[in-house]
Amino acid sequence: MVWLPLLVPFLAGPAGRRLVSCLPPRQAAWLLAVTAAGLAAGSTAALTLLVVPGATHLPAVAALGRLLTPLSTGSPDAVVAVAVAALAVLLLCAALFVRGLHRRWTQLGRAKRLAARADGELLVLADEFPDAYALPGRPGRIVVTAGMLRALSAAEREALFAHERAHLRGRHHLFTAVTELSALCHPALGALREPLAYALERCADEAAAHAVGDRRLTAQAIGRAALAARGAARRPDLALAATAGPVPRRVAALLAPAPRRPAPCRTRAWRSQQPC
């Protein structure tokens, strides 16, 4: 049972890719982020439990815990070896986690300084390379280059801005931060990055389609922006962009019929309609 939390994360990647195809984007994003955090906590706890039996073989630890015998029935050499290995992995994960937190904090500081250059929600860069992305922060900004503004029509620009606005309102950068930090606790959880990124982009796609009231226009704007932004993007690490991820798959989802909402239920007790 102690080894199980260390093995389950290897199934997270295939399960996550299947999950984003079966659930609505918003539910899939929440479930993936919570799953990543839970599996990371479970693997950390399992490593800690592997350290404890070996540590009780040390006289100082045994005396501190008032233990008459070590907490293990296996070979002392094997138990101590496993404990040492688990402790080394724990220390490595802790160092990587702290380093990852510091890196995210530094990136947020850079994003804040860049966002301070904007007077309002939109920050236009005098760059010929077509690009647009959501820059998280307090407050977040939508960054767009002059090249992207020229590549899209007015209606397409509005759909693109609605997409990036959905990233900011949904605070999607926190979902990616949870997954990135969880992957530092267990490398297998890195496989959740791709399905989570797709789920977040689909969330923003649907929000943009709802905001502009035209799914075909939203699909056209995303597809044209992705074609215009081909090449190496020069955007901050924390940026979330409509041109990221499997754009053809997302465009196909937007061109498909809109997901149906649950039909209202009628009861004799209530005159109002309640969703099923």
Residue range 259-270: mean pLDDT, rounded: 46
Q: Which long-range contacts (CB under 8 A, 24 or more apart) does 142-150 make?
A: 142/168, 143/114, 143/235, 143/239, 147/228, 148/225, 148/228, 148/229, 149/124
Is the preceding peptide bond at 136 cis, omega within 30 degrees of 0? no
- Place 86 in a pLDDT band, splitting at 50, 70 and 90: confident
Share the mean pLDDT of the chain: 82
Rounded CA separation 36/182 (Å): 6
- pLDDT tens sequence across 23-49: 999 999 999 999 999 999 999 988 888
**pLDDT digit string, tens, across residues 194-246:** 999 999 999 999 999 999 999 999 999 999 998 888 765 677 777 888 888 78
Q: Give the Å distances, CA to CA, from 85 to 140, 190, 272.
A: 43, 22, 61
Residue 175 to residue 36: CA distance in whole angstroms: 10
Task: Enumerate residues 6+ apart whose C-beta is below 8 A from 162.
Answer: 207, 208, 211, 212, 218
User: Which residue(s) pair with 142 in the sheet?
Assistant: 122, 134
pLDDT (0 to 100) of residue 252: 92
pTM of the predicted structure, to 2 decimals: 0.80
**pLDDT class of 108 with cuts at 50, 70, 90:** confident
Treating both helix axes as pointing N-terminal to C-terminal, what angle do 215-228 and 154-169 enclose, rounded to 10 degrees? 90
Name the CA radius of gyration of the chain, rounded: 24
Q: Which helix (H) or strand (E) is 202 found in, with range? A: helix 193-212
Q: Cα(54)–Cα(71) distance, rounded to whole angstroms?
A: 8
**pLDDT, position 180:** 93
Query: What is the pLDDT, as a whole number, of residue 204?
Result: 94
Closest C-alpha to 239, from 98, 144, 126, 157: 144
